[in-house]
Amino acid sequence: MGEVQPTSRYCFLCGRDNPVGLHMRWESDPQAHEVRGTVTVPEPFNGYPGVVHGGIVAALLDETAGRALLVSGNFDDLMVTAKLEVVYRRPTPTGVPLTVVGRVLSRSERRAHAQAELVLPNGSVSARAEVTLARPPAALAATWEAERPYWKVDGKP
């Protein structure tokens, strides 16, 4: 597919060292202008028995939309979510491999609009999100600098 995107240490979704995280990985596909990730959400993250909690679904979509901005591989392309609109189309099951796909719809220096969808093993979409992202205030972005040395692909800089 493409390049594996770096991950951080303690992010709930991708953190390599987060003992309660989902340990996700995303791959950039510059030709398709999208990012793809896979995850199998375990039962402790359900809302109802056998169904992923809606907040976890939203987090998966939010992160994937944001990561669509990183297809170029540039850490400085990170933005923060300003608005997240999720449409839940059908229950998302726990314990099965899921695919999340994100793509940038439009982008400027200060803002971006992205889309993400959560795809079930049978190819149907369980949830979709439209996300508005914004360049973070300089003070917030400065706090990310301490994590930059740990922003790696499976432990490699």
Residue 157's alpha-carbon distances to 7, 85, 140, 152, in angstroms, are 10, 34, 23, 5
Per-residue pLDDT for 20 more than 80? yes
* Residue 71 resides in a domain: yes
pLDDT band, very low/low/confident/very high, at 3 (cuts 50, 70, 90):
confident
Region 134-147: what's the mean pLDDT?
88
Domain count across the chain? 1
Q: At which residue do the structure tokens 């949830």 appear? A: 127
Region 35-47: what's the mean pLDDT?
96
Residues 6+ apart with CB under 8 A from 119: 98, 99, 100, 101, 125, 126
- What does the pLDDT read at residue 72? 77
* Residue 153 resides in a domain: no
* Residue 156 resides in a domain: no
- What does the pLDDT read at residue 1? 60
Domain extent for 72: 3-144
Q: Shortest CA distance to 69 belongs to which of 21, 15, 110, 121?
A: 110
Per-residue pLDDT for 155 more than 60? no
* Residue 155 resides in a domain: no
* Residue 29 resides in a domain: yes
Give the rounded distance of the alpha carbon of 77 from its chain centre.
Answer: 14
Residues 6+ apart with CB under 8 A from 76: none
Per-residue pLDDT for 154 more than 80? no
* Residue 151 resides in a domain: no
* Residue 30 resides in a domain: yes
Here the CATH number for the domain that contains residue 31 is 3.10.129.10
Report the predicted TM-score, pTM, of the whole model to 2 decimal places. Answer: 0.92
* Residue 31 resides in a domain: yes
User: CB-hemisphere CA count at 13 Å for 121?
Assistant: 7
Task: Write out the DSSP string of 78-109.
Answer: --EEEEEEEEE-SPPBTTSEEEEEEEEEEE-S
Is residue 36 within 8 Å of residue 3, measured between CB atoms? no
